């Protein structure tokens, strides 16, 4: 069988609930200037920002190769769902990606796999690329069942989800104990889980699973990014804290080379 072409890395920031829209615009202007001076054809750059930031940031990013994404999406297309944002609204505001099933939403908003599955369907129906987050808690890793937990999440989250190609979905492996803690999975552990996720994707999507992007997330920083990103099943990063700082984000973009 011919080997699949190399997977283009995706360096994706997750700003969480940080920065004001009025701060984000000058920040993005600086980032765009610096990216223009530092060729980065080797990877895609994406910022998943609060929904309030999308319209002004998208106006600035138009015509550049920096993509914008949201951090959550409603499972519903429209209607009486106070406070929710539909996939169509996010797309219209300038998002092309959306994070789905982040561990903070699983933990603080009681999101379960059935809801995450519905959100994936809603995002895909509007042409948004979901970044599906999966990952084990520390007690689950210590109990030796990290792999089972992640595969179970994938089974529930992706049930019945049909894809036309590898670019329609991104998976982020984010061990919960590494998010925002400064602790990182070793590159070997990230690869071990990445390869288990890859096998699951290939079984589920024989046409596209081998080329789908699998990101690592959990305290990725300039100091550890190159080692993590060198692994075959770490095709980019979902980066929280370090993505708020242009210097750190640019260093991680460089580390993906
Ligand atoms: C995240 O928010 O998905 C994340 C990985 O955060 P951090 O990089 O800060 O650990």
The alpha carbon of 14 and the centre of ligand 1 are apart by a number of angstroms equal to 7
* Whether 102 is catalytic: yes
Cβ-contact 67, 44 below 8 angstroms:
yes
C-alpha pair distances (Å), 8 with each of 144, 202, 229, 230, 257: 32, 18, 11, 12, 10
Q: What is the pLDDT along the chain (257 residues), one digit of tens a residue?
A: 455 678 999 999 999 999 999 999 999 999 999 999 988 899 999 999 999 999 999 999 999 999 999 999 999 999 999 999 999 999 999 999 999 999 999 999 999 999 999 999 999 999 999 999 999 999 999 999 999 999 999 999 999 999 999 999 999 999 999 999 999 999 999 999 999 999 999 999 999 999 999 999 999 999 999 999 999 999 999 999 999 999 999 999 999 99
Please state which of the four CATH numbers 3.40.50.300, 3.40.50.1970, 3.10.20.440, 3.20.20.70 is assigned to the domain occupying 69-248.
3.20.20.70
Cβ-contact 47, 60 below 8 angstroms:
no
The DSSP letter of residue 33 is H
CA-nearest residue, atom 2 of ligand 1: 240
Query: Structure pTM?
Result: 0.97
* Whether 84 is catalytic: no
Atom of ligand 1 at shortest range from CA of 104:
2
The alpha carbon of 68 and the centre of ligand 1 are apart by a number of angstroms equal to 17
């Amino acid at each position: 069988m011919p080997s699949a072409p190399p997977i283009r890395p995706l360096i994706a920031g997750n700003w969480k609930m940080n920065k004001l829209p009025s701060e984000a615009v000058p920040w993005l202007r600086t980032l765009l200037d610096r990216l223009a001076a530092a060729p980065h054809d080797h990877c895609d750059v994406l910022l998943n920002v609060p929904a309030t930031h999308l319209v002004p940031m998208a106006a600035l990013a138009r015509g550049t190769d920096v993509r914008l994404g949201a951090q959550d999406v409603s499972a519903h297309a429209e209607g009486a769902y106070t406070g929710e944002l539909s996939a169509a609204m996010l797309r219209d505001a300038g998002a092309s990606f959306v994070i789905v099933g982040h561990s903070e939403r699983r933990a603080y908003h009681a999101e379960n796999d059935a809801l995450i599955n519905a959100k994936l369907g809603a995002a895909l129906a509007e042409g948004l690329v979901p970044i599906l987050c999966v990952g084990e808690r520390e007690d689950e890793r210590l109990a030796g069942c990290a792999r089972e937990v992640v595969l179970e999440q994938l089974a529930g989250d992706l049930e019945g989800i049909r894809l036309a190609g590898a670019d329609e979905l991104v998976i982020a492996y984010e061990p919960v104990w590494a998010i925002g803690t400064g602790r990182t999975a070793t590159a070997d552990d990230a690869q071990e889980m990445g390869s288990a996720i890859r096998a699951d994707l290939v079984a589920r999507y024989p046409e596209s699973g081998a080329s789908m992007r699998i990101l690592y997330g959990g305290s990725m920083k300039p100091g550890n990014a190159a080692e993590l990103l060198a692994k075959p099943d770490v095709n980019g990063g979902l980066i929280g804290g370090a993505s708020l700082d242009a210097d750190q984000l640019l260093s991680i973009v460089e580390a993906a080379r």
